[in-house]
Amino acid sequence: MLDSLFGFIEASPSPYHAAAAAADRLATTGCAETGRSDSWSELDIAQGFVVRDGGTMAAVRAGTAVDPERLRFSVIGAHTDSPNLRLRPQPDTSTLGYRQLGVEVYGGVLLNSWLDRDLGLSGRVTVASEATEAVADASAGPADALVEPTAHLPSGNEPDGSPATVLWRCDRALLRVPQLAIHLDREVNDGLKLNRQQHMTPVWGLGEPSSDGFREFLAAELAVEPDAVLAWDVMAHDLTPPARLGRDGEMYAAGRIDNLASCHAAVEALAALDAVPDDTAAVIVLFDHEEIGSDSATGAGSPILADALERIAAALGASREQYLRAVARSLCVSADGAHAVHPNYPERHEPQHLPLLNGGPVVKTNVNVRYATDAHTHARFIAACAAAGVPYQIYSHRGDLPCGSTIGPITASRLGMSVVDVGSPQLSMHSARELGGSDDPAMLTAALGAFLAVG
C-alpha cells in the first residue's frame, strides 16, 4: 500500500495531476470518465464513472439493485490541494544578476520548509487551439490524457478556436529559495522571520531575464510558439521523492501527505470494493481549494457535490423528493490529515487526546464544529474500523489554541448530510515535506473500504 501511495504522490505534484491520477486509477477498474457538461442519464452507474473538473474529481459506483425509495449515499470526501508557492502571471524579475520568478503563497504554508529545496514546476497551461496538436506530439503521454476536459463549456458546443488546457510538469531542479547564511543573520536561530513578498522569491538563473522569459521557457517545454501560451496555473514542488524513514522504516516522509494520503485511501477503497450494497451509491469526491477556504467553482463550498448527488439520484430513477430523503439517510466520511502528538512539543496537545503514528485512523471531534463529527457519526466510523479490524484514535484540540478545519463542516452545512471527520495521524502538517506512519495508509484504506462495503 505504501508503494502505491508513493506512486500516487509522485504522479500528483499539483491538484490537477492528482485529479487525473485518481481518474486514471479508477479507469483501470472499468470506471468510464464523463464531464459535468455531459448527460449522465445513460451511464452504467453499477460499473461506475468518474467526473473531473480541474483539481476536483468525483467517482461513483452504485449497487446493482437500487430502489429509489431506499436510496442512500456513502460518501468519502478529501482534498487534492496542498499549501505551496505558485507562480504569478508576470513572474519574470531580476535582482543583482539573478533571474527570479515571482510567486504567491498558496494556503497556510510553513514558509521555512520551502527554503533550500530543489524545486520543479507543475500545473496546467492554456494554449491557443492551433497549438494543441503540437503539445500532444511533444508530450510523453497520449493526447487525450494530457488535454484537460473543458468542463465549464457546453460539451460538443465549444466555439471554434477555443483554447485548450493541458497538464504540464517539469521535474528538473529549476528553482530554489536560498536561505541567508548564518554569518549574515546571527540571530536567525532565535526565531526566523520570513516576509512573503521579499524573502520567498526563488532564483532560477543568472543574468538579465527577458521580460517574458518564463513564457518562452514554457513554450519551449510544450513545443509551441510563445504567443500560443495564453495563461497558466503553475506551482512549485519539492523534487525529493517519498521515502521510508526510521530505523525499521516505520515512518515515511513525503510532500503533500496532507491530503494526498486521504485521496489515495479513498480511491483505493473504491477500487477494491467487491460489491456496493443494494440501494447504495458509493461516492468519493476529491476537492480542490480546501487549503484556501473551499470557496471556488470546484471547492467544497460550491454546489458541485450536491449537484452530482442529485444527478446520480436522477440517473438511478429517483425523484427530487426521493433524492432529498436519500441525503437525509446518508453519511459522509471527511478524510484529512490529523495531528499526531509531537515528541518535542507535548505541551501543544490536549493531554487526553494524543494520536500516535501507526495507531490507526483518527476520529476528529470539536464541539464548535470545526470538525463535523457527532456522537452518531463517530459511532458509525468506529464500527467501520471494527469491521476492518483496525484500531482507531480520537483527536480533540487544545482549548487555548484555535482549531483547524476541513471540508467536513462545509459539506455538512451545504448538503445537510451527516459527516464524520477522520484522518491518518501525521507530523509536520503543511511543511513541504511531511511525516507519517508507514502502517497508517493501509489502515485508513481498510477502514474506508469497510465503510463503503457496509454502507
List contacts with Zn ion (CB under 5 A): 258-259, 336-337
Residue 450: CB minimum distance to Zn ion, A: 22
Please, which residue, 92 or 258, has the CB nearer to Zn ion?
258
359 vs 244: CA distance, rounded Å: 17
> Hey, what amino acid is at 124?
R
**C-beta closer to Zn ion: residue 57 or 276:** 57
Least distance to Zn ion from the beta carbon of 448, Å?
A: 16
Using CA atoms, how far apart are residues 380 and 76, in angstroms rounded to an integer? 13
For residues 9, 14, 15, 20, the Cα torsion angle rounded to the nearest 10 degrees is -70
Could you tell me the end-to-end alpha-carbon distance of the chain, in angstroms, rounded to an integer? 23
**Cβ 404 to Zn ion, closest distance in Å?**
8
Work out how close the CB of 432 gets to Zn ion at its nearest, in angstroms, rounded to a whole number: 15
Could you tell me the smallest distance in angstroms from the CB atom of residue 348 to Zn ion? Answer: 18
Q: List all residues 6 or more positions away from 426 whose beta carbon is below 8 Å from its beta carbon.
A: 257, 258, 261, 337, 338, 339, 340, 357, 434, 435, 436, 437
Q: State which residue, 48 or 337, has the beta carbon closest to Zn ion.
A: 337
Residue 151 or residue 332: which is nearer to Zn ion going by CB? 332
Q: Characterise 294 by phi-psi region: left (phi > 0), alpha (psi -120 to 50), beta (else).
A: left
* Residue 30 or 108 with smaller CB distance to Zn ion: 108
Measured from the CB of residue 360, what is the shortest distance to Zn ion in angstroms? Answer: 19
Residue (91 or 337) nearer to Zn ion, CB = 337
138 vs 305: CA distance, rounded Å: 35
Q: Give SS3 for 387.
A: helix
Query: Residue 226 and residue 125: Cα distance in Å, rounded?
Result: 12
